[in-house]
Every structure is written in structure tokens, then in C-alpha cells.
Chains A and B, each alone.
Chain A
Amino acid sequence: MDLFLNLLASGLISGSIYGLIAIGFAVIFRTTGVLNFAQGEVMMLVAYVSWSLATALSLPFWLLLIVTVFAATLIGAILERLFIRPMLGQPTFAIIMVTIGLAIVLRSLTVLIWGTDAEPFDTIIKGGLLTVGPVVMYSEQFAAIVLFVIAIAAVTIFYRFSRVGVAMRAMAEDETTALLMGVNVKRMSMLAWSIAATVSGLAGVTLAMISSRSSDMWVLGLRAFPGAILGGLDSVVGAGFGGILIGVIGDLSEGYIGHGLKEISGFAVVILVLMIRPYGLFGQRELERV
């Protein structure tokens, strides 16, 4: 039982990171219909920038957080403006390929700028121990879960109540009609990239605190795909919980079935799910008209 609870806890922690990245996928997909294959790389880039800011300026933690959010927003907006905006009106296939190209460009640039060495990311919230019953976790691991809960709440409120959120939902429904209703489609696309970069970027910062700031962080982006698919790409909250589910499944299968399954079980699950429900567990079935 203790083993189960501990595995569940570590599953929740990695699941929170997956979930935050999956929220990033879903925010962009819902608004623009594009699956951003570079989300993991954007996350890594934000974490690296935040690390550099932290080491160079030695800011207090709350200020670092604000500066990181600001930087992430900027990174998302710049990437959208440089790489995605010029592709407006092209087939979705082409735009997705651009994000794949962008992914390896960002990955290589990060190594070329910061090198391959991993560095610890030390902040004030790092290092504390939290004991809940038989489960022991570090405070930065707990921070991942807290961040996930805050992000889910914020995103839900944003989509339900804010004017911009409603406009984004309208865009997801029908881009042309939204345009006719006065929604600034270009600005919404940029905003979606900024939100996605911020949410997954904060996940990246947390991840860097949990393990270290290293040049293979982008892999998490690929592993978060199953989460996003499982929850349905068109449902932001669903994608988030899909990520949690994948994290928990990963750790449980690693603990009970075999070594190495943590990385792979999500992919096995997603193939099975897509065989049975092609639009994810919570996704809406699309009707296609010819």
C-alpha cells in the first residue's frame, strides 16, 4: 500500500508537468487548429531563460516568477510572429511541419547557446521536505502539483468568463464566423501561443528545479502528447487531466510491471485509446462534410 501511494504521488508530480504541457498543446490547438510539436522545446527555452535570469540577477523568488511569466509571454509571441503568422492560410499539414522544424531548431539553438551541461536550478522553494502519511516529497515537487491546480483553475476561469476567452472559443468553433463577428484572429493566435508558452514554461521551470536544467527537457513535450490526446485536444481542462492520468499510469506501470515502462506506457495507452475512440476520451467527435 505504501508503495502504491508513493508511486501515485510521483505519478501525480510527473503527471502535473505533463498536464501543464498538455494544456499548452490544447490552448494552441483549440484556437488555431494546429498541434504545436515544439511545445516541449518552448518549455525548455523558457526554463533556460529563467535560469539565466536567476543566476545573472539573483532576484527574489516572486520577482523571478513575474519576470519568467513576462519572458515566456514574449517568447511565445515572438515565435508565433516569426514562424506561424507567415504561414496563415496555408494547409494545416504545412503549419504542423513548420512546428516540427521549429522544434529541432529550438533544440539545437539551446544547446549551441547554453551548452550540453546540466545545471541545478536553485530557488528559495527548493529543498524542503513534505510528509503526508507514508508519502514523502520535496517542496518543489509539491509546487508542481500546486502549479497544475492553479493553471487549471485559471484556464477554466479565463475561457468561461473573460471576453478574450470567449473569443478564443468562438475561433475554435468556426474561424471564419469568428472573424466576421469582429474577433481579431491574428491577435488571438499570438495570445494562444503566449498563454501556452507561459503555462508550459512555468512547468519547465518547476521541472528544472525538480531535476536540473538540462538539454533533454524537450523529451517531456513528446511524452505529454498522449496526455493531450487522451483528454482530447479540443478540451483544455481535459488535456490537463489527461496528462495527470498519463503520469500516474507511467509510474504505476514502472513500479508494478517493469523497468523502463515509465517512458513508454503513455504511448501504448494512446495507441489503444485512439483505436477505440479516435478523438480521445473527452474529445468531441468531428462530423465531416464533403
Chain B
Amino acid sequence: MRTGHFVENHGKQIALSDSEVVWSWTAVLLILCLLLPFVASGFVLTLAITIGISAIGAIGLNLLTGVTGLISLGQAGFLAAGCYTTALLITDYRWPPELALLAAGVVSGLLSLIIGVPSLRLKGIYLAITTLAFSFIVTHFLLYAEPLTHGPYGVRIQNLRFLGLNLAAPPQMYYLVLAILFLACLAFLNLMRSKVGRAFFAIRDHDIAARAMGIDLTQYKLSAFFAASFLVGIAGGLMAFQFRFVNVDLFNILLSIEALAMIIVGGLGSLSGALLGAVFIVLLPEFARTVTNLLPTHLSAAFSTHIYDVRGLLTGLAIIMTLRFEPLGLIGVWRRVSRYWLHWPLST
């Protein structure tokens, strides 16, 4: 019987994971993800793409809010910045999509520095409101700067090829998203085991104490903002690839709240939490649709005309329920269950 988990040397301490079980299950999961397009229908694949893109954005937000403790309600603004950068560079400036996607991350990251500077003096709700204000200003700019952004007409991308992939075909888009998600996960895990990651955690727990330990708040808070928004910008660029028609209406406040819901429901500050949260929040309306289809016809018809509101209702309830009953999120449930399992029959 296993008696406990012991880290015995430095190599184990800094390894991505020192557990062979975790390694092998990750490999199984990865293989299953790679095999998905061979068995899944187009609809399932589209959902999987949405989950992947949301997960990349959620990892970014988790880095900022979950790990560094800087609350952001401006996710929609950063996504919009990335999405429009990619779309406009491809259509109006004939950039290759590969570069345009990278530019989405860079532009979004640079914009975040503008918000990052006041954030050095702001905390908690004041920062939340600044980021909220930022996202309103971005969408307003996109809507009114018509010569640059096509304003209310939106941007349509045609003939999209990325590294030889035809992104109009769901399987190829899926593999691209999966690859980028994989890289994002690796980057996140790597960051967490480095000095920078530990500095982020220290800032979250108490920034003044962190400063007293010799952590340069300016540098680390700004790099958290940049890294997080870079990821979110990439997610935005991928949204442009997925929809191929970009419009300001996509980036409303519900999107920012859903992003927060993902990391709260999943579990703040952990990679698996962000992934689980993304799966949960994207599948929630689908689940609701399945349930309402079982209801009597007039009820299900009423629900389907208000699907947007049902979605909002469920997201809100998910946030409230998680915070009230399981503040650690889904990942907390998972950890409790696995601990119970490992320690059985001695578990409490």
C-alpha cells in the first residue's frame, strides 16, 4: 500500500511530473485526443475546437487571475484584439496566417501593458473595473474606427491555409488547435516550476510581502500581464480562424464572465483546472439543450428561443454554486476523490 508521496531529490522537485501514473494517463489522453477526428462527427469536432480555443484563453486568464492574483474582467477585450489583429492582417494587409496569428498574441500582449501600468497601483476590484473599462474601449474602438476595422460590417477571411493545412476542414483546424493547446500547457507548466512562476504565486499570496522578498513587482506583474494576454490573443486569433467571419458582437461581457467561470469552476491556479473548466463551461449549454429536449414540447420550445439566456443562467449558477460549495473547483473534487481512493480503507 502507498503510504505517501515523497519527493526525494532535486530532479524530482523540478520535474514536470514525478509520477509515472500521471505521465502514462497524460499519454493516453493525448492519444485519445489525436484519434478523436477519426471517430467524431463534424458537430462534435466543432465543439472540441471551441473547447480547445477556450482552454487556451482560460490558461492565459488562469496565469493572470489564478496564479498571479490580478483579477481581469477584460478577457473579451484581449480576445477581440487578437481576433481582429489576425483577421485584418490576413484580409487587408495580405500577411501569411502564421505570422498574423503570432501578431495577434503580440498585439494583445502589448495592449495589456497599457492596462498593466495602472495595475501596479491598483488592486482587486479597482483592477477588475479597469480591465472591464479596457474591454469596453476596445470593442468601442473596433466598432467606430471603420476605416481600419470595417466597423459594424465585420471582417470575412477567405481561402485560409495555415502551414499547408486547410482550416475550413474541421479535422485540420482541430489538429492545429490541439497542437497550440499542447504548447500552451507545456509553457504554463514550465513557467510554474521556474523562478518566475514561484514569484507569481508569491505576488498572489501577498504582494507587499513578495516585494520584501526581493521580487520586483513592476517587472513580474507586467510580465504576467504580457504572458497571459499573449495566450489570450492567440486564442482570439484562433477564433478568427474558426469563424472566418469576425464581428464585434462576439466580444460581449458574457464572454469575459464565461472565461472567469471557466477558471473558477475548474479550480483557480491549476492547469488541469483551466482545462476542466473550459470543457465544463463549453459543454454546459449543450447539456442544457439535451435536457430541455426531454421536457414537454412547449417548454423545450420556450427554452430554445431563449438559449442565450439559459446559457447565462447556467454559467451564473455554476459560478455561485462552485464558490459556495466547492471553492477549489472541479479539480478540488478530483483531488479529494483520488485521495480517498489512494488511502482506502484508511481514508476519512
Contacts and interface: CB of A to CB of B under 8 A. Distances in A.
Contacts of B73: 100
Contacts of B132: 222, 225, 267
A220 B79 CA distance: 24
A263 B316 contact: no
A108 B121 contact: no
A131 interface: no
A279 B313 CA distance: 33
B271 to A, nearest CB: 20
A112 B143 CA distance: 29
Given A108-B310, A112-B310, A290-B206, A267 B323 contact: no
Nearest to B211: A290
A104 B312 contact: yes
B129 A290 contact: no
A129 interface: no
Given A98-B323, A225-B132, A271-B118, A107 B260 contact: no
A178 interface: no
A98 B324 contact: yes
A232 to B, nearest CB: 11
A46 B264 CA distance: 29
B73 to A, nearest CB: 8
Contacts of B195: none
Interface in B89-141: 117-118, 121-122, 124-126, 128-130, 132-134, 136-137, 140
B124 A93 contact: yes
Contact of A112 (B206, B306, B327): B306
B136 A107 contact: no
A275 interface: yes
Contact of B133 (A97, A226, A279): A226
B313 to A, nearest CB: 4
B209 interface: yes
Interface string A30-42: 0000010000000
A112 B124 contact: no
Nearest to A225: B129
Given A98-B324, A111-B306, A263 B140 contact: yes
B176 interface: no
Contact of A101 (B133, B306, B320): B320
Interface string B132-165: 1110110010011000000000000000000000
A29 to B, nearest CB: 8
A290 B311 CA distance: 42
Contacts of A278: 118, 121-122, 126
Nearest to B324: A86
A101 B206 contact: no
Contact of A290 (B118, B208, B257, B318): B208
A283 B327 CA distance: 32
Given A229-B129, A268-B137, A270-B129, A101 B323 contact: yes
A104 B315 contact: yes
A68 B260 CA distance: 34
A35 B130 CA distance: 14
A92 interface: yes
B137 A267 contact: yes
B309 interface: yes
A260 B254 contact: no
Interface string B172-214: 0000000000000000000000000000000000101100100
Interface of B: 71, 73, 117-118, 121-122, 124-126, 128-130, 132-134, 136-137, 140, 143-144, 206, 208-209, 212, 253-254, 257, 260-261, 264, 306, 309-313, 315-320, 323-324, 327
Interface of A: 35, 83, 86-87, 90, 92-94, 96-98, 100-105, 107-109, 111-112, 222, 225-226, 229, 233, 258-260, 263-264, 267-268, 270-271, 274-275, 278-279, 288, 290
19 contacts: A96-B125, A98-B320, A98-B324, A101-B318, A103-B257, A104-B257, A105-B317, A108-B309, A108-B310, A108-B312, A108-B316, A112-B306, A225-B129, A226-B133, A260-B143, A268-B133, A270-B130, A270-B133, A274-B118
Given A267-B137, A279-B126, 4 more contacts: A94-B327, A100-B316, A102-B316, A104-B257
